[in-house]
Amino acid sequence: MRIASSLRLFPAFRLGAVATVAILLTACATQNEDPTATWNPDKIYTEAQGQMNSSGYDKAIELLEKLEGRAAGTPLAQQAQIDKAYAQYRNGDRAQAIATLDRFLMLHPTSPAADYALYLQGLINFNDDLGMFSWLTKRDLSERDQRAAKDSFESFKALVERFPNSKYAPDAHQRMLYIVNALAAYEVHVASYYYSRGAYVAAINRAQQALQDYKDSPALVEALHILERSYDALGMTDLRDDTRRVIRSTLPPAPNATTDAAPKRSWWKLWGE
């Protein structure tokens, strides 16, 4: 009796299990369904722009990646790639944004948007948190990576040289000057750091490096004064006197130079002066 009852119940149980599995599969299929499957490229682009305008960069990136594939070989696909790089940048993924721009410039070197791609690439590195001015608040200044600033300079330089009439060229040129002055100031600041700790040979090397690499930067006035004081501290009187002659003949005097070579103003401020 009990066995027969169990046999009668088994088919019903099996049907219930099958129905449950079917419901789960249907739910998964619905959940994984691509809502953009029936959208045309223009609609995808419009939706991506809406997400970017509302700071929904994650969703914008997903939409733009879909658009790249569906509009492949068209100007809209190129625009999607550029916009994706910007969205990645705003989303905090600067390395991925740079990689996207590198790929764009490799695939589309003659694109009408190539100048903007170079400008955006330079801008991303220009604003990199690893970059140019974090050393101002650090005590250990012996070696800090200035790669981002130098990469930024190279992107802006390529823009100015390849697209001199680009609307982005004037700003790129100003940023190049800014970067050069910043890097020169960095070198001189490190030289000052070494001088203040009695590492006179190291101070001389960094000051000379600044003089060699960054001509006409305001920071170089202080570089010469660091050289003069370092030579004097080492008893290298001939080189000290030669440096003094250069200072007197070619450069204005540094304003109230102190023994730790601290400037009275920020050398790297180009705008608003």
Number of domains into which the chain is organized: 2
Among the listed residues 117, 141, 147, 116, the one whose alpha carbon sits nearest the alpha carbon of residue 129? 147
Give the residue numbers spanning the domain of 220: 175-250
Write out pLDDT tens, residues 43-101: 999 999 999 999 999 999 999 999 998 888 899 999 999 999 999 999 999 999 999 99
Q: In this structure, are 117 and 188 located in the same domain?
A: no
Q: Within a domain: residue 116?
A: yes
List all residues 6 or more positions away from 144 whose beta carbon is below 8 Å from its beta carbon: 134, 135, 138, 186
Q: In this structure, are 118 and 180 located in the same domain?
A: no
Q: Within a domain: residue 29?
A: no
Q: Is the pLDDT confidence value at 158 over 80?
A: yes
Write out pLDDT tens, residues 101-149: 999 999 999 999 999 999 999 999 987 644 445 544 444 433 445 788 8
State what percent of residues in the chain have pLDDT above 70: 73
Q: Within a domain: residue 261?
A: no
Q: Within a domain: residue 23?
A: no
Task: Pick 269 or 241 by higher pLDDT.
Answer: 241
Distances from the Cα of 59 to the Cα of 24, 54, 56, 64, 256, angstroms: 26, 10, 6, 9, 55
Among the listed residues 125, 120, 47, the one whose alpha carbon sits nearest the alpha carbon of residue 85? 120
Q: What is the CATH number of the domain that holds 120?
A: 1.25.40.10
State what percent of residues in the chain have pLDDT above 90: 58
Q: Within a domain: residue 100?
A: yes
Q: Within a domain: residue 153?
A: no
Q: Within a domain: residue 162?
A: no
Among the listed residues 213, 241, 242, 208, the one whose alpha carbon sits nearest the alpha carbon of residue 226? 208
Q: Within a domain: residue 134?
A: no
User: What's this model's pTM, rounded to 2 decimal places?
Assistant: 0.70
Judged by average pLDDT, the poorest of 17-21, 136-140, 199-203 is 136-140
